[in-house]
């Protein structure tokens, strides 16, 4: 059996793969690791303490904030501010970007964008949830106050991205543009250990993940693709299997391991889509491309989109190369419908 490598050891080992390696990114990822362990602890005792349910307030998207949304948001902000590598954070739970005003933070090179607890409404029913994070080099001069431009960068400029999935086991999966690696949390040691090295999504899959309850509101191309997935064509391994959890991290993680496609199209009620470009789509697209898959809004590569606002929404299609390519054929054929 090969020697077990911890997340900390792996980050240090791979530092030279990162073009701006100076130890700062390692420290930043250690902050995320620490916050994830704290949040994991609270999630695992969510049924025992008064931390489930809604707070009674809404976030900027008009969604009810869950108690654990607020808790995770505060813990990740605190961990990122404490290490002095981050000058500011943008969160799905905050109206505006949060600027860290300590003198050392002003000299930091990085900004972080995050969804601190994706799928948080699933906590009450013991379904997997996650944290999504995205790291960029700031574009404003070091030593100055960060600007909106630091946060509104296209996804192809990410220097690192990843997610933590809190499920039957807790895993942290991340990339710095040199492949995707996954680490499983060992609670007996309090350590994330390398368990999934150089993760690659199969080029083909048999799983499609979409909320079919909204079928009547989908664009024609998406409806046609769903019917294609359901056709009985044994020689083409169809019909495919429908699997939808309603937690992006959980659906993405399953498809990454087994092969599949995740779809969140525009609908009549959300003509621009519902998922956030900066907090969800960009980091997941970076991971997926590094794992050999494709991420698109149906027309454009997600990582090439030019963000216009912090909470911008986009349609999102991500997964196995051949499955997304087939979907794009249907979208192109019915683009006017």
Residue 136 in marked binding region: no
User: Residue 109: helix, strand or coil by DSSP?
Assistant: coil
Peptide bond into 202 cis (omega under 30): no
Q: How far apart are CA 281 and CA 297, in angstroms?
A: 9
Residue 9 in marked binding region: no
Q: How far apart are CA 293 and CA 218, in angstroms?
A: 23
Residue 84 in marked binding region: no
Residue 211 in marked binding region: yes
Residue 117 in marked binding region: yes
Q: What Å distances lie between residue 79 and 27, 28, 29, 161, 213, CA to CA?
A: 11, 9, 10, 17, 39
Q: How far apart are CA 97 and CA 148, in angstroms?
A: 8
* Residues 64 and 124 sit within 8 Å (Cβ to Cβ): no
Residue 50 in marked binding region: no
Q: How far apart are CA 245 and CA 211, in angstroms?
A: 9
27: exposed, middle or buried (C-beta count within 10 Å: 0-12, 13-18, 19+)?
A: middle
Residue 118 in marked binding region: yes
**Residues in contact with 153: Cβ distance below 8 Å, sequence separation at least 6, in sequence order:** 136, 139, 307
Residue 96 in marked binding region: no
Residue 104 in marked binding region: no
Residue 326 in marked binding region: no
Residue 115 in marked binding region: yes
Q: What Å distances lie between residue 38 and 21, 49, 190, 226, CA to CA?
A: 27, 15, 11, 40
Which residues are documented as binding site for substrate? 211, 244, 262-264, 274
Which residues are documented as binding site? 92, 115, 117-118, 211, 244, 262-264, 274, 280
Which residues are documented as binding site for Mg(2+)? 92, 115, 117-118, 280
């Amino acid at each position: 059996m090969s020697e077990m490598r911890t997340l900390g050891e792996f980050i240090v080992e791979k530092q030279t793969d990162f073009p701006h390696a100076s130890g700062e990114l390692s420290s930043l990822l250690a902050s995320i690791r620490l916050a994830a362990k704290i949040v994991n602890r609270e999630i695992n005792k969510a049924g025992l303490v008064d931390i489930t349910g809604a707070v009674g307030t809404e976030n900027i998207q008009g969604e009810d904030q869950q108690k654990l949304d607020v808790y995770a948001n505060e813990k990740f902000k605190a961990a990122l501010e404490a290490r002095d590598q981050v000058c500011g954070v943008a969160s799905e739970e905050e109206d505006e970007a949060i600027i860290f005003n300590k003198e050392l933070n002003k000299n930091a090179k990085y900004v972080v964008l995050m969804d601190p607890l994706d799928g948080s409404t699933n906590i009450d029913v013991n379904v997997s949830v996650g944290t999504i994070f995205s790291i960029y080099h700031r574009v404003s001069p070091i030593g100055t106050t960060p600007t909106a431009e630091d946060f509104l960068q296209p996804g192809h400029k990410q220097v690192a991205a990843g997610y933590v999935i809190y499920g039957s086991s807790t895993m942290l999966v991340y990339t710095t543009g040199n492949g995707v690696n996954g680490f499983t949390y060992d609670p007996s040691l309090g350590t994330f250990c390398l368990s999934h090295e150089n993760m690659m999504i199969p080029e083909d899959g048999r799983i499609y993940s979409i909320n079919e309850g909204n079928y009547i509101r989908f664009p024609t191309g998406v409806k046609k693709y769903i019917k294609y997935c359901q056709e009985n064509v044994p020689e083409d391994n169809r019909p495919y299997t429908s699997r939808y959890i309603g937690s992006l991290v959980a659906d993405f993680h399953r498809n990454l391991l087994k092969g599949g496609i995740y779809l969140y199209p525009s609908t009549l009620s959300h003509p621009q889509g519902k998922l956030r470009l900066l907090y969800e789509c960009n980091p997941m697209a970076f991971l997926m491309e590094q794992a050999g898959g494709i991420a698109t809004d149906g027309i454009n590569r997600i990582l090439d989109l030019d963000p216009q606002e912090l909470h911008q929404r986009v349609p999102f299609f991500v997964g196995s190369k051949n499955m997304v390519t087939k979907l794009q054929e249907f979208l192109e054929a019915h683009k006017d419908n």
